[in-house]
Chains A and B, each alone.
Chain A
Amino acid sequence: MSIEPLFCQRFEISGKDFINAGKASTTIKAILREIGIRPAVIRRAAIACYEAEMNVVLYARKAIIELRITPQEIRIQVEDEGDGIPDVGLAMQPGYSTASDEIREMGFGAGMGLPNIKNNADTLQIRSVVGQGTTLEMAIGL
């Protein structure tokens, strides 16, 4: 099933780039506002996207975020190059985290990233290959 998106834009993000962390999500939020998406939908998309973006900054080398908007939904795909997730089921459990002490000291690594994305998106798919990377695909209905 592929519906021609009304809108498609890609954002590159780099791991460990804390200066720009969150900027892609902020830009995506601004785009959604400009085209008149409902505030409640924007908020859910923004939280899900921000968590995914922070996961890349904290754990991966780099990633492409792709925002697609169709007449029915917002789709956000985050495809990263990184270590991958050995046990996705475990990573989905609230509170589970592999974060280093360094990451925890920065106030991250509470193990709520993926659960938060799942809570805010209508659908979430995760594909991960250890040693290569992880792809999240989330959708939020309009």
Chain B
Amino acid sequence: MDGYFHSVKIAPERCTGNMACLKVCPTEAIRVRRGKAVILEDRCIDCGECARLCPRHAIVPQTSSFTDFARFRYTIALISPVLYGQLRKDVLPRTIVAALHKIGFDEACDVACASEAVSTAVDEYLAGYRGPLPLLSPFCPTIVRLIQARYPDLIDLLIPIDSPMEIAARDIRLKKMKELGLRREQIGVIYLTPCPAKMVAIKYPPRKKKSHIDGAIAISDIYHPLLAATGDLSGNASLDGQPVTGSGLGWPLLGGQVSSLRAERSLAVGGLVDVERILDDIENGKLGDIQYVECHACSQGCCGGSLTVDNPYLTRGKILSLLARFGGAPCRDRETVRELYHKNYFSLPGKISSRPLAPLDQDIGKAIEKRRRAQEICKVLPQINCGACGAPTCLSFAEDVVLDQAVLEDCVVLMARQALSVAGSGKDHAA
């Protein structure tokens, strides 16, 4: 893949050079240059934190819009179970499915059932696995990117099992092609996504050439139409859809994967800071007694994705109550799913490539020299990480200077101090 497709883009006409994005970026991938934010493509891991925070909405998630799907004869909305936790507590999954029909989708299909099946597949994979531990969940696209960039030697620990959204999309498309006699390209499968990173996983799925999904609409974009449609439907007793059941309903929660697994030695981590601590520990050879680590870039799991509307804690509560009510009844027979697993129904044989962050120089000697110069430059900087130069910290600014991407004069504090000291010495002369 040349260049990178990213989950967010900056709209320069709206950007005021406000530095919220600069500070929140976990990989220091944003600079403000000539008053506008720019993304350093090779550093961005698509977490979407910048878009969440920008007060001007100048960082635009690259999700699809409704008009993108006009070319399809038949459209299928693929529902992330996060959506079930976004509306009022009494709006049940069945009603949401009906409301999506009403909005104009020809079909609405739930991902929770595929999530439950993927849990079984993960269990089977863990049971047959004999290599180094712990294995890592590959389902958060930002975590996969983080590992590609910062922890390339942990890539082989990512479980080679496809994501629930891909499995669900493949199944429903095939079913509808058969039922309706349509060709693959006549059917549009559209994921209703809680975060922009999923769009990256759809455009450039790891381990395979093409996704089974045609695009993704932000939950925040569909929220209002959905709200209106469910309002009309409430009290309608004729909803005849199947209730959504199974442990897959809990997948968007932090710990949802782990609690749906039979593997006992597993843990769940949310938030990039904590995930990095765990990955550091794994690199140091710790955690070898854990089988599976569920990793989410968002601290509350997918419930807290940057394209959700409702408070992640409320969403969590609503999903937990759905889980208590409908989670106990399996969506599919476990034995059938196990058979499918052993026919490689869930597996992804392809390799995930690393994409390590560029070092300061390709030559180790020169890189060391550049690092030394950056440290020297950093010493004369004010060390207050104010961001006025357009870099998030004094050290990252010093590195930019060494890499010829900034000039020392961009440090306004340093310039002001120099101007003051020149003015001061001038006064001394006058006196």
A34 touches B359 (CB 8 A): yes
B359 touches A142 (CB 8 A): no
Tell me the bound Cα distance from A47 to B153 in angstroms.
12
Q: How far is the CB of A42 from chain B (nearest CB, A)?
A: 7
A43 touches B153 (CB 8 A): yes
| Number of residue pairs spanning A and B whose beta carbons lie under 8 angstroms apart | 59
Q: How far is the CB of A90 from chain B (nearest CB, A)?
A: 22
Q: How far is the CB of A43 from chain B (nearest CB, A)?
A: 4
Interface presence of B368 (CB below 8 A) = yes
A33 touches B357 (CB 8 A): yes
Tell me the bound Cα distance from A33 to B354 in angstroms.
14
Stretch at the interface among A12-20, A24-32, A78-86, A124-132: A24-32
Chain A residues within 8 Å of B280, by CB: 22, 26, 29
Among A6, A25, A29, A116: residue with most chain B CB under 10 A:
A6
User: DSSP class of A's interface residues: helix, strand, loop or mixed?
Assistant: helix
Interface presence of A114 (CB below 8 A) = no
Chain B residues within 8 Å of A42, by CB: 153
Contact (A40, B360) CB under 8 Å given A46-B284, A116-B285: no
Interface residues on A, range: 20 to 34
Chain B residues within 8 Å of A6, by CB: 364-365, 368-369
Chain B 73-90: CB-based contact to A (< 8 A → 1; otherwise 0): 000000000000000000
Chain A residues within 8 Å of B364, by CB: 6, 35-37, 69, 71, 142
How many B residues face the partner with a CB closer than 8 A?
22
A40 touches B359 (CB 8 A): no
- Select one of A31, A35, A37, A47 contacting B283, CB under 8 A: A47
A36 touches B283 (CB 8 A): no
Interface presence of B356 (CB below 8 A) = yes
Q: How far is the CB of A56 from chain B (nearest CB, A)?
A: 15
Chain B residues within 8 Å of A47, by CB: 283-285
Q: Which of A49-67 contact B (CB under 8 A)?
A: 50-51
Contact (A35, B285) CB under 8 Å given A26-B280, A40-B153, A42-B153: no
Interface presence of B361 (CB below 8 A) = yes
Chain A residues within 8 Å of B357, by CB: 33
Tell me the bound Cα distance from A31 to B368 in angstroms.
9
B356 touches A69 (CB 8 A): no
Chain A residues within 8 Å of B153, by CB: 39-40, 42-43
Chain B residues within 8 Å of A142, by CB: 364
Chain B residues within 8 Å of A7, by CB: 368, 371-372
Contact (A50, B368) CB under 8 Å given A34-B360, A36-B361, A36-B362: no
Chain B 135-166: CB-based contact to A (< 8 A → 1; otherwise 0): 00000000000000010110000000000000
Chain A residues within 8 Å of B150, by CB: 33
Binding site for A on B (CB under 8 A): 150, 152-153, 280, 283-285, 354, 356-357, 359-365, 367-369, 371-372
Binding site for B on A (CB under 8 A): 6-7, 22, 25-26, 29, 31, 33-37, 39-40, 42-43, 46-47, 50-51, 69, 71, 116, 142
